Structure 1
Amino acid sequence: MKPRGLRAVGPLWQAAAVLIALGVLVPVLSLAWLALGEDLSHWSHLVRHVLPDAARNTAVLLVGVGVLVLVVGTGCAWLVTAYEFPGRRVLHWALLLPLAMPAYIVAFAYLDLLHPIGPVQGALRALLGYDSPRQWRLPDLRSMGGAIFVLGFVLYPYVYITARAMFMTQPAYLLEAARSLGEGRWGAFRRVALPLARPALAIGVSLALLETLNDIGASEFLGVNTLTVAVYTTWITRSNLPGAAQIACAMLLLVVALVLVERHGRRRQRFGSVQRMRPIGPLRLRGPLAWATTAVVASPVLIGFIAPAAYLVWETAKRLRLGQGVSDALLASLGNTLMLALGVTALAVAAGLIVAWSARQGAAGGGMRWPARLSMLGYAVPGTVLAIGLLTPGLAADAGIAQVLGLPGLPLMDLGAVLVVACIIRFLAMPVGGIEAGLARIPPALEQASRLLGENPGGTLRRVHLPLLRPAIAAGALLVFVDTMKELPATLLLRPANFDTLATWLYAEAARGTYEEGAIAALGIVLAGLLPVILLARTQLAQERPAPSAPDATHPA
């Protein structure tokens, strides 16, 4: 027999979770309706003149970034796991630092650093004895190769994290058996460790490619016309919203393919209770080989974080040293960014708590759990696709509000409500996943005891679970806050008039070619982005501390 409170409160939690999950589907359904509601002439024009070039560029970019992140992420993960060399203890967490750098900021920094008359090429020409860029210059960064270079060295941590976690859980006896059968260290890695890590590698590469597909700033800065850039230019430059919606539908096919790859990789993961196995012991390297390994592992950190971060600090200090200070418009953009990030964080965490708690109640009572799975769909949808999908419902809601309340203009669009909804849908997966993981660690006996004492689900959540969920909620809130600060595509397309965030300010400065004040905005975004990276590094360090011996342990198989 169910307690009395469950009949009163349980359906309300379930209904709220269903509404939130269905809200995630609104932009996808609206996008399909908008794309299919137009005549076929738009489709024929896109197929002949727009999609071939954009799709080809997107495919080449995805393949190039996928190969680069796979090689760099897997190689660094194996080196810091299997070998001991100078600086290893620092590099194993420093390799996460590029996560704090949005790709458009790295592209912004390298466009100035690697300019033909910039500091890097100037120093190289002086070293080689050349006097001008006409005599010698590096290949132009504004190219497909430049985009692959920038995005690859920003996104490789997705593969590094998953690969390192898998290598750390592989028992040492497997490699020792391969060595006893005549394989060298490289052969044991290639024929034993790497095949076992394939599911983790598939997940990491899929996440990196989803971020590549979502990127608009780096691709446009570097002159690569991807599907995402084509959506933006078709909508904003050519004022062709149906055409942009049709390109966005083509992007959704790529998203579905990448999600299927990620799910296929996750399908291979299993968990079992087995005797604790001895992990891989790192082999100590000595002499020049050890220092060469240090240089190889440090290179991605230097390229993906240290060099662009040092550039931003230098440009910011130079501007402040010259007494130019920070403009009022940039301070207003900072205020807008914080206001938007705080609002999205509060609403996304509240929605995530409702969905995760409803899933917990559904699991306990045999109810539905699909709203929690559906609510995570938004993270896979690029920001440009979300923006187009939400525009039509937003305009319809504005028309209804104007008719009922007699308000002029577009109240929801002008107040930024549509932008807030887009960011909530985009990042709802973070609090849902984090809170679900936190709830899974809480023994059901605590909830059962609370219910036997007369508490309903709401009271049990408030008095028992919320105090225990504070770390999970704080971590999810931090991730949503920082990602909202970094979000460019949806903010660029849905922001109200005369409303700039740090990301859109930086985009405008880069488009004008004025790097000095844009560096200040970029540095602020990077400093905020360091917070979740520090949290992730601390988590990784905690996982590597020796655990107390126990007869049994549960680890990925």
Structure 2
Amino acid sequence: MTDRVDTLSLGPGRPGLRRKDGAWAVGMLACLVAAACALPMLAVALAAVLGGTDTVTHLAQTVLPRYTATTAALVGLVSLGTFAIGVGAAWLVTMTRFPGVKLFEVALVLPLAFPAYVLAYAYTSVLDHPGIVQSTLRDVTGWGPRDYWFPEIRSLGGAATMLVLVLYPYVYLLARAAFLQQSATTFLAARALGSSAWRAFFRVSLPLARPAIAAGVLLTVMETIADFGTVAYFGVQTFATGIYTSWFAMADRAGAAQLALCLLSFALLLAFLERAQRGRAQYHDASRRQQRMDPARLHGPAAGLAIFLCSVPVVFGALVPIVVLFSMGIGSQQDLLSPRYLGFITNSLTLASVAAAVTLAAAICVGFYRRLRPGQPARGAAYIARLGYAVPGGVIAVGLIVPFAAFDNALDAWMQARFGIRTGLLVTGSIWLLVLAYMVRFLAAALGAYEGGQSMVAANMDAAARSLGQGPVGTLRRVHLPILAPSLLTALLIVFVDVMKELPATLIMRPFNFDTLAVQAYRLASDERLDGAAVPSLVIVAMGLLPVILICRQVGRQT
């Protein structure tokens, strides 16, 4: 009924009316947004094909096997870790009651505010050879550096641990929502047939929540293959670090494009799998009796174990990093009020604000067009717009620089030959191209928040607005946007914070002498000045707490 009301209200047989009332303009803008999202992927594929076989043969004989094995191992470790922590914590806070459970329901989301590279800086300062842990161990035991073994933080396992600690909330939030929506009838039926609580969980509750859990794990995998700051700092060679090394250290544009194509193919495969499994998620309670599960009350050792298990990810994913970063920052002699740091903060806020506004506007165009014209073109535009989230920032950076650098060079050559004027690089290296990269990367997050709120706007409200003389743009401005204000604010904050934390695209595409807090933290950490890196890292974390607080409030309302 929704589709029919929207289509009829636009007058499908009157194309002139479409142009007059603004629907045509909305459709054109949505298609332009989809084209902008598809451009970097097409450019990477074209640049990789035109790079010749010599480069790809050399890559296959040298670094490609290592990048593939390391990236696969990192993805496997992070998937297992986020699944275990996210599902386990979600089950405990949903299906059991113990002291402090309400606090843990919210606190388990807090690590989502931290970029993984910030945790890497904090734990390296604590666990590395000169850190407080090993120094205290040597002082207490009298051992020398070669007299004991200690886990190496700068390793594949260390990088996986950092990523698990900040990414498990994706799985936790989706698994918790799935457990809350389950009816108790199937679980109680399994118990009545003789299954223990653990057996009923593994045989009934877990399979019913599988689509949500799989979606959460796939989100963590996409974030893992996109990560650059953590793996680069720990010296773990993945596709993300290989792209950056080929582009800058080796000046091998063809090699970077071909590595980006490999990573892009893997990311798009994951996006396809996530969409396919979500499309098959058809679970129904045949009894139609949605009886909420009565949580089991834990006492004694069982309650203590539940508190310990829920405390571990919160302590190591949020509390310890904050304490360590504060202690590092106090003696770092980094002045946040100095003109230099105020410049970093201003640059970060400017980029994040502009990118958030542009991305939100693009999400409104795509989402509203899909509501106006719920056909194949609108669905295709929305699908392409969402693909950017599965594409790492380094791949998007390469995919945008290649075509726009070619455009700038061609324009410069034409202007010089025709008028004797050198135009230089007009687009490449500009803030607007970087903003475009952010829009492509984070449009899916804004679009999801917008469409989630839009689903609450009934179709008869559109019909009523049209009957009062409002066109599509007027309906959007006077009806939709006021109702969707909370969803729009959430989308704006999510993109704002994601841009504040984003590193690889910023490193590759930022204008000359235009550094952000993330770039400054990365530069100081690369120079082993971890105390200095703590200061910009704390500012990034403080900014990240804003959307997390909103998420925590939403979690609190669901209970």
TM-score range, shorter chain: over 0.9
Which 5+ residue runs of structure 1 have no aligned equivalent?
545-557
Relative distance call for 1:510 and 1:179 in structure 2 (3 A) is same
Post-superposition CA distance 1:480-516 (Å, at most 9, x none): 1110010001001111111111111111001000012
Q: Distance between the aligned counterparts of 2:298 and 2:261, measured in 1? A: 51
- Partner in structure 2 of residue 48 of structure 1: 61
Deviations 1:67-97 (A, max 9, x none): 1111111111111112111221111111111
Find the counterpart in structure 2 of residue 102 from structure 1.
115
- Look up the match of 2:490: 475
What's the TM-score once normalised by structure 2's chain length?
Answer: 0.92
Q: 2:239 is aligned with what amino acid? A: L
Aligned residues: 540
Matched, 1:161 2:173: yes
2:357 is the alignment partner of 1:346 = yes
RMSD: 2.0
- The 8 Å contact of residues 271 and 387 in structure 2, kept in 1 or not, is answered as no
**CA-CA distance at 1:225 after TM superposition:** 0.3
Which residue number in structure 1 is paired with residue 402 of structure 2? 392
Q: Deviations over 1:414-459 (max 9, x none)?
A: 4322111100111111222222222221111111111112111111
Query: How does the TM-score come out when normalised to structure 1?
Result: 0.93
3-state SS of paired residue (2:40) = helix
Instruction: Name the residue aligned to 1:307.
Output: 320
Q: What is residue 512 of structure 1 aligned with on the other side?
A: 527
1:355 aligns with 2:366: yes
Go from structure 1 to structure 2 and tell me whether the alpha carbon gap of 1:423 and 1:473 turns closer, same or farther (over 3 Å shift).
same
1:158-188 CA distance string (max 9 Å, x none): 1111111111111112221111221111111
Look up the match of 2:514.
499
Please state if 1:30 is matched with 2:68.
Answer: no
Instruction: State the distance in 2 between where 1:80 and 1:437 align.
Output: 25
In structure 2, give the amino acid aligned to 1:395: A
Corresponding residue number in structure 1 for 2:329: 316
Matched, 1:370 2:380: yes
Match of 1:77 in 2: 90
**Distance in 2, Cα, partners of 1:102 & 1:192:** 35
SS of equivalent residue, structure 1 residue 413: coil
Q: Please state whether the residue corresponding to 2:428 is helix, strand or coil.
A: helix
Distance 1:333 1:218 in 2: 21
Structure 1 position 465 matched with structure 2 position 480:
yes
Amino acid across the alignment from 2:494:
L
CA–CA separation in structure 2 for the residues paired with 1:448 and 1:266: 31
Partner in structure 1 of residue 393 of structure 2: 383
Residue of structure 2 in register with 1:20 after alignment: 33
Corresponding residue number in structure 1 for 2:5: none
Separation of aligned partners in 1, 2:432 and 2:202: 51
Q: 1:126–1:170: structure 2 CA closer, same or farther, 3 Å change rule?
A: farther
Question: Are 1:265 and 2:280 matched, yes or no?
Answer: no
Percent of residue pairs identical:
39
State the distance in 1 between where 2:238 and 2:489 align: 36
Match of 2:3 in 1: none
- Is 283-292 or 490-499 further displaced after alignment? 283-292
Does 2:225 match 1:210? no
Verify: 1:298 aligned to 2:311, yes or no: yes
Q: Which residue pairs with 1:331 in the alignment? A: 342
| Structure 2 residue 81 is matched with structure 1 residue 68 | yes
Partner of 2:244: 232
Aligned mates of 1:167, 1:343 — CA distance in 2 = 38
Q: Tell me, which stretches of 5 or more residues in structure 2 are unaligned?
A: 1-7
Query: Could you tell me whether the CA contact under 8 Å between 2:268 and 2:391 is conserved in 1?
Result: no
Deviations 1:329-365 (A, max 9, x none): 22211111011111111111111111111111012x8
**1:417 to 2:429 alignment:** no
Q: In 2, are the aligned partners of 1:215 and 1:228 still within 8 Å (CA)? A: yes
**Amino acid across the alignment from 1:26:** L
AA aligned to 1:176 is L
After TM superposition, list the pairs within 5 Å mapping 1:519-538 onto structure 2: 519-538=534-553
Amino acid paired to 1:291: G
Name the SS of the counterpart of 1:428 in structure 2. Answer: helix
Equivalent position of 2:260 in the other structure: 248
